[in-house]
Chains A and B, each alone.
With several copies, the nearest count.
Chain A
Amino acid sequence: MEELATQVTGISYALDTFYFLVMGALVMWMAAGFTMLESGLVRSKNTAEILTKNVGLYSIACIMYMLCGYSIMYPGGDFQGGYFNALANISILTGSDNDAAAVADGSYYSGLSDFFFQVVFVATAMSIVSGAVAERMKLYSFFVFAIVLTGFIYPIQGFWKWGDGWLNVGNGDVGFLDFAGSGVVHMTGAAAALAGVILLGARKGKYGKDGQVQPIPGANLPLATIGTLILWLGWFGFNGGSQLQVTGIENANAVALIFVNTNMAAAGGLVAAMLLSRIWFGKADLTMILNGALAGLVAITAEPLTPQPLEATLIGVVGGLLVVASIVFLDKLKIDDPVGAISVHGVVGAWGLLAVPLTNDDASMVWQLIGLGSIFAWVFVTSFAVWFVVKATMGIRVSDEEEYEGLDIGECGLEAYPEFVTTDS
Chain B
Amino acid sequence: MKLITAIIKPFKLDDVRQAVADIGIQGITVTEVKGFGRQRGHTELYRGAEYVVDFLPKAKVELAVDDEIAEQVVEAIINTARTGKIGDGKIFVTQLEQAIRIRTGETGKEAV
Contacts and interface: CB of A to CB of B under 8 A. Distances in A.
A contacts B directly (C-beta below 8 A): yes
Interface of A: 212-217, 280-283, 285, 287-288, 324, 327-328, 331, 340, 404-405, 409, 413-415, 418, 421, 423-424
B49 A214 contact: yes
Contacts, number: 58
A412 B32 CA distance: 25
Nearest to A325: B48
Contacts of A340: 47
A283 B49 CA distance: 11
A340 B47 CA distance: 9
Contact of A285 (B11, B43, B46): B46
B45 A421 contact: no
* Chain A interface helix/strand/loop/mixed: loop
B57 interface: yes
Interface of B: 10-11, 32, 42-51, 57, 59
25 contacts: A215-B45, A215-B46, A215-B47, A215-B49, A216-B46, A217-B44, A280-B48, A282-B45, A285-B45, A285-B48, A288-B47, A327-B48, A328-B47, A331-B48, A331-B49, A340-B47, A409-B42, A413-B46, A414-B44, A414-B45, A414-B46, A421-B32, A424-B10, A424-B32, A424-B59
A207 B43 CA distance: 18
Contacts of B46: 215-217, 285, 287, 413-414
Given A421-B32, A424-B32, A213 B49 contact: yes
A283 B48 contact: no
A322 to B, nearest CB: 14
Interface core residue of B10, B42, B48 (most chain A CB under 10 Å): B48
Contact of B45 (A283, A331, A424): A283
A327 B59 CA distance: 34
Contacts of B10: 424
Contacts of B51: 214-215
Which of B11, B43, B50 lies at the interface centre, i.e. has the most chain A CB atoms within 10 A of its CB?
Answer: B50
Given A213-B49, A424-B11, A415 B44 contact: yes
B45 A281 contact: yes
Nearest to A404: B11
Given A215-B44, A413-B43, A418-B44, 9 more contacts: A212-B49, A283-B45, A287-B46, A409-B42, A413-B45, A414-B45, A415-B44, A423-B32, A424-B11
